[in-house]
Amino acid sequence: MSSLVALLIALPVSISIGWFVWYFWNNNRLLDRKLIEGDMSLLTSNNYSISEVIRAPAGSRVEKVAIQQMPVNQQQYIRQVLPDGRVALIPVSNQQITQVHSTMHTNQQPPIQ
């Protein structure tokens, strides 16, 4: 009895696995044939997602090159020593910095006693 139950479960599973393997193999075979033939219907097909189309002479290679993006909003920083000894980098707008004063040193005279 248990071998009959195992057969009833194993047979549909085996058939479905076999069908999936054949389906993907056949789709890859058809895609390769269409690519070799240069089938233009691939560009408008809903089955495939086209991200880039390259026209180049036979034997050409496509190499991935990392694109280096420059930061659009470059901020400058002022190095500021805090009273407790830590160093803080304070962002400053892109306007020209003429003079930077430290908060540790002021122009005030010491109080007269």
How many domains in the chain? 1
Structural domain boundaries, residue 31: 2-43
Residue 39: inside a domain: yes
Residue 7: inside a domain: yes
Which pTM does this prediction carry? 0.41
More confident residue, 20 or 3: 20
The string of pLDDT tens digits covering residues 25-50 is 999 999 899 888 888 888 788 887 77
Residue 17: inside a domain: yes
DSSP secondary structure string for all residues of 57-78: -TT------PPPPPPSS--EEE
Residue 32: inside a domain: yes
Report the first-to-last Cα separation within the chain, whole angstroms. Answer: 108
Residue 56: inside a domain: no
Residue 35: inside a domain: yes
More confident residue, 40 or 74: 40
Res 109: pLDDT: 59
